[in-house]
Amino acid sequence: MDYLIIVIILILIVFVLAFKSVKILRPYEKAVVERFGKYQRTVESGLVFLIPFIESIRKVDLREQVVDVPPQEVITKDNTVVIVDCVIFYEVTDPFNAVYNVVNFYQAITKLAQTNLRNIIGDLELDQTLTSREMINTHLREVLDEATDKWGTRVVRVEIQRIEPPKDIVDAMSKQMKAERMKRAAILEAEGYKQSEIKKAEGDKQAAILEAEGQAEAIKKVADAQKYEEIAIAEGQAEATVDVYDAIHKGNPTNDLIAIKYLEALEKVADGNSTKIFLPAEMSGILGSIGGIAELFNDEDINKKEKISKKDKDSKVDKIMKKIEEQSKEAKKS
Per DSSP, the residues of 215-232 read HHHHHHHHHHHHHHHHHH
Model confidence at 78: pLDDT above 60: yes
Model confidence at 53: pLDDT above 90: no
Instruction: Tell which wins on pLDDT, 233 or 111.
Output: 111
Residue (of 59, 77, 175) closest to 126 by Cα position:
77
- What pLDDT, in 10s, does the model give residues 166-181? 888 878 878 888 888 8
Stretch 59-68: mean pLDDT: 92
pLDDT at 310: 45
Stretch 232-260: mean pLDDT: 70
Whether the CB-CB separation of 260 and 286 falls below 8 Å is answered with no
CA atoms of 324 and 334, how far apart (whole Å): 15
Stretch 263-282: mean pLDDT: 55
Whether the CB-CB separation of 270 and 262 falls below 8 Å is answered with no
Model confidence at 129: pLDDT above 90: no
Model confidence at 297: pLDDT above 90: no
Average pLDDT value over all residues in the chain = 79
pLDDT at 252: 66
pLDDT at 159: 92
Stretch 243-269: mean pLDDT: 63
pLDDT at 308: 46
Per DSSP, the residues of 27-74 read TTEEEEEEETTEEEEEE-SEEEE--TTTEEEEEEE-S-EEEEEEEEEE
pLDDT at 307: 45
User: C-alpha distances in angstroms, 219 versus 123, 223, 233?
Assistant: 81, 6, 21
Whether the CB-CB separation of 110 and 67 falls below 8 Å is answered with yes
Report the DSSP beta bridge partners of residue 85: 162
pLDDT at 48: 87
| pLDDT confidence band for 86 (50 / 70 / 90) | very high
- What pLDDT, in 10s, does the model give residues 139-169? 999 999 998 989 999 999 999 988 888 888 8
CA atoms of 88 and 144, how far apart (whole Å): 9
Q: What Rg value do the Cα atoms of the chain yield, rounded? A: 66
| pLDDT confidence band for 131 (50 / 70 / 90) | confident
Whether the CB-CB separation of 29 and 50 falls below 8 Å is answered with no
Model confidence at 15: pLDDT above 50: yes
pLDDT at 304: 45
Stretch 3-30: mean pLDDT: 83
Sign of CA dihedral 207, 209, 212, 217: negative
Stretch 20-36: mean pLDDT: 89
- Run of H or E residues at 158: strand 153-164
Q: Is 84 exposed, middle or buried (0-12, 13-18, 19+ CB in 10 A)?
A: buried
Model confidence at 290: pLDDT above 60: no
Stretch 264-288: mean pLDDT: 54
- What pLDDT, in 10s, does the model give residues 300-331? 444 444 444 444 545 654 665 566 566 556 65
pLDDT at 93: 92
Among 29-43, 85-99, 263-277, whose mean pLDDT is lowest? 263-277
pLDDT at 47: 87
Residue (of 106, 118, 119, 115) closest to 151 by Cα position:
106
CA atoms of 168 and 178, how far apart (whole Å): 15
Start-to-end C-alpha separation, the chain:
184
Model confidence at 136: pLDDT above 60: yes
- What pLDDT, in 10s, does the model give residues 183-222? 988 999 899 888 988 988 998 888 889 888 888 888 888 8
pLDDT at 54: 87
pLDDT at 300: 45
